[in-house]
Amino acid sequence: MRVALNILAWWMATAVPAQPRFSLPHGLYDDKELTVAIEPTEKGAEVRYTTDGSKPMARSKLYTKPLTLTASTILRAIELGDSGKRSAPVTATYILTNSIARQGNNPEGYPELWGKYTTISGQAKADYEMDPEMTGDKELLKKIEKGLHELPILSIVSDKDNFFSHTNDPEKGGIYIFTGPPVGDTTGHGWTRPCCVELFGGPQQHDFTIDCGVRLHGGHGRLAEKNPKHSFRLVFKKDYGPGKLEYPLFGEDEPAEFDQLVLRCHFGNSWQHWMEANRQEAQYTRDLWMRRMQRKMGRTSVNAIYVHLFLNGMYWGLYNLGERVDDLFGKQHLGGKKSDIDVVKIEEDGGYHLEASEGTLDAWDEMLAVVEQAENEERYQQLDTLLDIDHFIDYMLINQYAGNTDWDKHNWYAIRRRGSDSEGFRFLCWDSEVIFERVNLNLAAGSDDRGHPTTIFLRLLKNDDFARRYVARAKQLLADDGLLGETSVVEVWDSLYHTISIALYDEAARWGDYRRDVHRYTSKGELYTVDDQYMKERKRLLTSYFPQRSQNVLQHIFAFLPEVAASIDGIAAATTDERYYNLQGLPVEHPTRGIYIKNGKKVVLH
C-alpha cells in the first residue's frame, strides 16, 4: 500500500499537465472576426499563449479573457500546473478569408532580405505580399477568396527564426535563408527545424495536427535566384513529436502511415521560375499527371494531393503534398519488411551520382550486368526477379509520350523488394514538370541525357522478346482508345485542372508578379494570371498537343524500330509514309529520319 501511495505521489509531482483547449477548431473562416477562448483543463490553471508561431513559454503572454481575431492568426498555448510543470503546446491556425487581401510585404519581425544568391551576386529580396493589383480587383478577389475553400489548407507553424534567421548556425540558422543548394555554398543542407503542422478543410474535410520536423527539399529549386518558393519535407520522428503520422491522407484504400512527406512547390513550368519560357507554360498539373497516369496504367506510383500552404499564417502558395519514396513506401506498396527494400536514385548534391537511398546497390548492379547481355536469352530470363519488365515498358512509354526533357540523368526512382519472389525494380515517375512542350519531340530512343533508364532500355531492345513486347504495348497504349490516347490523357489532365481551377487565382496573386516586380533575373517577366497566360497554354495543349501527340509518338517508335513494327500484326496498315510525315508537318521527301515504314516494309532514303 505504501509503495502504491509513493508511486501516486511521484506521478502527481512529475505529471505534465494536459493541454488547454480552444473554443473553436482550426480552420478557414469567412467571418470578419472570431472570438476564441482558451480553456485550461485544470480549473484555475494558468494559460500562456503566443500569436507569432513561437513556442509558448512560462513568460509568454498570460491569457485572461477571450481573444478577438480580426486577421489570420496562429494561436499556440500551454497550461501551467501548480507545480510549475507546463503542458505540451497546443496549436490552432485560424485563416480569415477577408484578411488574405491585406497580406503585405512587411510582416512584423520578418527580414527584408532572404538568402544570398548562389550562381550570381546579390541577395534575395523578401516577398511576402499578395499582389495588390489582383487583390484590388473586386472580381479577382472573389475568386481568390473562393479558391481558398477549394483545397485543404496545410499550415506550418514554427518560431520565425527557424525559417528566417540570418544567424549562420546549424542549430539556429533559418532554413529559408541557408537553403543548402546542390551547387556553390551548400550551407544549410539537411538542417531540420521543429514545427507544428495542421491540415484542415477542402472537399474531403481533412483534419489533423502533429508536431514534426521541417526541412527544405529538392535540388536546384533551392537556389534563391532560380526559385523563391521552396519545397519542404516533413519529418516524423520522436526528436520532434510522434514517431509517425498515422492518417489516411490519400484515401481509405491507400497507405495511412508515414515517416516523411514531401511538400512540392511546383518549380519547373511555374510563374516564379527563372526562365520566361517556363513561366509561359505554367499549368501546375504536369507532375501529378505523370503519377496519376502511371497509376491508371495499373502500375506502382507515388500518391500526392494539392494543398494551400501557409507559413505562420502567411499564404505561401499552391503545393502538392505527397509520399516520399523510402523503405516504408516500399513496404506499403510492394509488401515485405522495411529491411527488404532497395531504393535507387540519382542524388544531385555533390554532383549527379547514383546512390541507394535505402538498402544496397547489389541487386541494381546485378540487374545492370544481366541487361548488358540481354540478347542472350538465358541471361534475359534472369531478369524475372531483378526488373519488372512490363512496368518498365509502361514507364518508358509514358515518359516518351510526355516528352520528358528533364530526365533521365536525374528525376527518377527505382524500387525493389528483395526475396526469391521479388518482381524486380520498378521505376517511378518523379519530378516530371518539364513535359508536354513540343508536340513533335521524338524521345523514342529515350532521353538525350542517356541516363540509367534509357541505357537499360536501349540494351534491352537488343532482345527480340523485349522489343516486340515494347512495340506491341506502344500500339495498345497509344491507340485512339488506349490509355495514352487523347481521350484518356485529357480525362486525367482535366480532373487535375478542375481540382485547382479556382485555387490557381490564389497562386497567381501570391507569385504571379515576382519576376516583374521583385527579381527579374534573366528576363523581365509579366504579371502572370489565370485568364491570360494560363488559359492560353491550356488551350494549346487541348487543341494542338493532345490531339496529335499519341500518333506522333507511335510513329516515332515505328520509325525507330521498323523491322519490329513490321513484324507485328496490324501495324503495317496503319503506318504509311504519308500518315507519318503529315503528322510531322513535313513533306514526304524531307523526312527527319533516313528510314521509315512504307506498306509494312523498311525504306531507306538516300
Q: What is the pTM of this model?
A: 0.91
Amino acid 347: pLDDT? 86
Q: Which residue has the cell 490552432?
A: 92
How buried is 480 (Cβ within 10 angstroms: 0-12 exposed, 13-18 middle, 19+ buried)?
Answer: exposed
Rounded-to-integer distance, Cα 414 and Cα 359, Å: 12
Q: Which grid coordinates belong to 256? A: 495511412
Strands 27-29 and 90-96: parallel
**For residue 438, how many C-alpha atoms fall within 13 Å in the half-sphere facing its CB?**
9
**Residue 420: left if φ>0, alpha if ψ -120 to 50, beta else—which one?**
alpha
**For residue 456, how many C-alpha atoms fall within 13 Å in the half-sphere facing its CB?**
25
Amino acid 350: pLDDT? 66
**Under a CB-based contact definition with an 8 Å cutoff, are residues 364 and 356 in contact?**
yes
Rounded-to-integer distance, Cα 428 and Cα 420, Å: 22
Mean pLDDT per 10-residue section of the chain, whose length is 606 residues:
39 64 98 96 93 96 97 97 86 97 96 96 97 97 98 98 97 97 92 98 96 96 96 97 96 96 97 96 98 98 98 98 98 97 88 91 97 96 96 98 95 96 97 96 90 96 97 97 98 98 98 97 94 98 98 97 88 39 35 36 37
Greatest C-alpha distance within the chain: 102
Q: Which of 209, 197, 104, 127 is nearest to 158 (CA)?
A: 197
Q: DSSP 3-state assignment of 226? A: coil
Rounded-to-integer distance, Cα 495 and Cα 506, Å: 19
Amino acid 449: pLDDT? 82
Residues in the chain: 606
Q: DSSP 3-state assignment of 271? A: coil
Q: Which grid coordinates belong to 101? A: 487581401
**Under a CB-based contact definition with an 8 Å cutoff, are residues 400 and 454 in contact?**
no
Quickly count helices (H) and strands (E) in the chain: 18, 26
Q: Which of 320, 318, 53, 317 is nearest to 195 (CA)?
A: 53
Rounded-to-integer distance, Cα 85 and Cα 95, Å: 31
Rg, C-alpha atoms of the chain: 27
Amino acid 520: pLDDT? 94
Cis peptide upstream of residue 408 (ω within 30 degrees of 0)? yes
